[in-house]
Amino acid sequence: MSTTPLIHVVDDDPSMRTALLRLLGAAGFEARGYSSTGEFLLQPLPDRPGCLLLDLRMPGPSGLELQAALLQKKIMLPIVFLTGHGNVDSSVRAMKAGAVDFLTKPVKRDVLLDAVERALARDATQRAAREETDQLHVRFASLTERQREVFDRIVAGKLNKQIADELGIAERTVKREREQVMAKLDANSAADLGRLAEVLRRSTAK
C-alpha cells in the first residue's frame, strides 16, 4: 500500500482537467483525471490516501450526485468542489453532505492547494481513525465469551461484585477477567474502556 496521496480530478472540460492535473503535478502531488463521474466510478479505487477534486456541473450525473453515491458506498474520500458558476443552493447541499470546500473557477493557486491540503489532512485523520477502529475490532475479536460479558458490564458501570453475582462466578474470577480485557484492549481504566465501547458501537452501527 502506497502512502503517497492520489488526487482524483473529475471534470468534463478537457482543458480545465489538463490544467488542474498540471498544476497539482507541479505542486508535487500525484493526480489522476476523469472526464465524467461515470468514468470515476467504473475505475477501481486504489487503497491510497487522497481526495477528490470534483466539477459541480457535468453532462450526465453531476458532482453532487457523485458525492451522494460515494456516501452511500461508504467511500470516505474528502471532496473539494470546483464550479464555473455556483449558487447558494448547490454549495449548501455540497457542504452539508461533507464537502471540504466549494470553490469557484477561476480559482487561485493558494486557495486550491490549501483546500487540497485540508482534504488530504482530513483523509489522513479519517484513515487514522478508521485504522484505530479496525485494530480495536481485531482486539475485541480476541476476547473470550466470558471476557465480553465482563466487558459489557464494566462499560455499563457495574462493580466487580455485581458482575460476579450476575454471572454467578467468583468476584476474584471477575477481577482476573477484567485485567485480561484491559490488557487485550490496551486500556488503562474503566473510562478508557467506555470510550472504546463507544467507538465500537458507532462503527458497528453504521
Partner 1 sequence: MRWLGVAPALMAALVLGCIALPLRAAEEEARVLMLYGLDPYLPPFLAMDKAMRESLASETGRRVVYFSESLDSQRFAMETLEPELAALLEKKYNALRIDVVVAISRTALDFFGRHGERLWPGARVVYVGFLGYEFKPSALPPGASAVLSILDVAGTIDIARRLQPGARRIVVVSGVAEVDRRAEQQAREALAEPDERIPVEFLSGLPLPELEARVAAEPPDSIVIYLAQFRDRDGRPYEPHEVLRAIVKTSRAPLYGAAESMLGLGAVAGSVASYESRGRLVGEQVRRALAGVPADPSRTVLAAPNRCVADARALQRWSLDERRLPSGCDIRFKDVPIWRQYWWQIGLTLTIVAGQAMLIVALFAQRRKRRLAEQAELAQRAVLARASRLALAGELTGAIAHEINQPLGAILANADAGDLMLDSGTDRREDLRAILADIRRDDLRASEVIRRLRDLLGKQKFERTRFDVNEVVSDLESIMRAEAQRRGVVLEIRRAPETLTIVGDPVQIQQVLINLVLNAMDAVADESEARRAVVVSVAKGETGAVLAVRDRGRGIAPEHRTKLFESFFSTKRNGMGLGLSITRTIVEAHDGRIWAESGPDEGTVFQVELPLAIANGTPSPQPA
Please report, as residue ranges, which positions from 84 to 103 form the binding site for partner 1 (by CB under 8 A): 84-85, 87
Alpha-carbon Rg for the chain, nearest whole angstrom, is 23
Rounded CA-CA distance 99/92 in Å is: 10
- Which residues 6+ apart lie within 8 Å of 68 measured at CB? 97
Position among 48, 93, 105, 158 found at the interface with partner 1 (CB under 8 A): 105
Please choose, out of 104-112, 116-124, 139-147, 194-202, the segment that lies near partner 1 by the rule CB under 8 A. 104-112
> What x-and-dash track marks residues 5-24 binding partner 1 by CB under 8 A?
--------x-xx-xxx-xx-
- Output the CA–CA distances (angstroms, integers) from residue 61 to 13, 35, 91, in the order listed: 15, 12, 17
Cβ pair 64, 10 in contact under 8 A: no
Compare residues 9 and 120 and give the one whose CB is closer to partner 1: 9
185, 152 contact by CB (below 8 A): no
The piece of 33-41, 83-91, 124-132, 152-160 that touches partner 1 (CB under 8 A) is 83-91
9, three cell numbers = 480530478
Pattern 56-75, binding to partner 1, x per CB under 8 A?
Answer: -xxx--x-------------
Binders in 143-202 for partner 1, by CB under 8 A: none
The number of beta carbons lying within 10 Å of the beta carbon of residue 23 is 17
Q: Does residue 104 bind partner 1 (CB under 8 A)?
A: yes
182/143 Cα distance (integer angstroms): 10
Residues 23-42 that bind partner 1 (CB under 8 A): 23, 25-27
Residue 112 in contact with partner 1, rule: CB under 8 A: yes
C-alpha cell at 14: 478537457
Give the residues lining the site for partner 1 (CB under 8 A).
13, 15-16, 18-20, 22-23, 25-27, 57-59, 62, 82-85, 87, 104-109, 112
